[in-house]
Amino acid sequence: MRRNGASRCTARVHEWSGLVAAPGTDEGELAALLAEVRRIDVQSKRLVTGVMAGGYTSVFRGSGIEFDEVREYEEGDDPRSVDWNVTARMGRPFVKKYTDEREMTVVFLADLSPSMDGALGVWSARQTAARVCACLALSAVRNGDRTGLVAFSGGVDAYAPPKKGFAHGLRIVRDCLALRGRSDGPGPAAALEFATRAVRRRAVVFLMSDFLTEGFDDALSLCARRHDVVAVRLLLPELAAGFSGEGLMRVRDPETGRVQVVDWGSRSVREEHARRAAAWRARTEQSFRRAKVDLMDVPVPRRAGKDLLAAPILRFFRMREMRGAKR
């Protein structure tokens, strides 16, 4: 587990300006990164235009109506739209006029902590998050929405203000893969506090993390009051219900680098691991319920396969459709 940090964000925030490789990245690593981005782009495009087509639009709409102007009352206007302050000041009735808001702002809060580079799956948690981000970002771009990114680890590491366009959406995916974070500090709390302050217009906020930390409940609740927050929980295979390793396994803590050998043949080890994993799942779900935010569980797959992300994303879309999109 990561260390808990103060909920106050004190990190210096650097505005994002494109693809920035992690310090020490050589040309070979950068070429591999760009190849991975292209693979994600191809995979996500097929999902966006195929099985996911229409799902994003029907679930995430504009936040309803927004104020346009005040004009004089005309016969047939709804009396409930009367602006009583202006009416009293002018001495004749005026009404408020609203327009439909179709355009949305979608912001991704991406966890870059070292633990996101682990997992006993075909992808790391970070690679899985980047693919989820690609699917949702490209859907937003196709819908004419703005997309933005808050990258965080120990604090807020980078910020991409929401903009329109395919290139901007693709660069957000690149940053999810390229940037590297720290291991200490407030983590999700810092990103949530930053999004609450920096994103002034109501937005759909996807908080993508393995949530192997605590202390973000208050920041989550405050952000959810201002924005429509969706917690995207990357379910590592080793934390899934019913997971059981085989024999002796050497594992390394990505946060501290400490290596130890785990004996999965020991019944007490298996039971203790199952207890801790269940406690983690219950604790995070309680945090999401308390903050009244939606949860999208995305398992990190253990084996390669086709459309591995389609099922959890579509399952989430169906849940939102049945309940009705938040306002």
- From the list 136, 123, 64, the residue with the least C-alpha distance to 316 is 136
* Intervals of CATH 3.40.50.410 along the chain: 14-60+103-323
CATH node for 14-60+103-323: 3.40.50.410
Residues 6 or more apart whose Cβ sits within 8 Å of residue 299: 235, 237, 240, 312
Amino acid at 256: T
Give the pLDDT confidence score for residue 53 in this predicted structure: 57
The residue ranges of DSSP E strands in the chain, in sequence order, are: 14-15, 64-72, 94-101, 105-111, 146-152, 156-163, 204-209, 228-235, 248-252, 259-263, 294-299
- 190: tokens are 């810092």
Q: What is the pLDDT of residues 9-39, one digit of tens each?
A: 333 343 433 333 444 444 554 565 556 666 6
pTM, full prediction: 0.74
Could you give the CA distance from residue 291 to residue 293 in angstroms, rounded to a whole number?
6
- Residue 267 backbone phi and psi in degrees, to 5: -60, -40
Give the pLDDT confidence score for residue 25 in this predicted structure: 45
Q: What is the DSSP string of 54-66?
A: THHHHHS---EEE
Measured CA distances, 41 to 31, 76, 137, 214, 243 (Å): 15, 51, 11, 33, 31
Strands 248-252 and 105-111: unpaired
* Residue ranges for the chain with pLDDT beneath 50: 1-26, 29, 63, 100, 325, 327
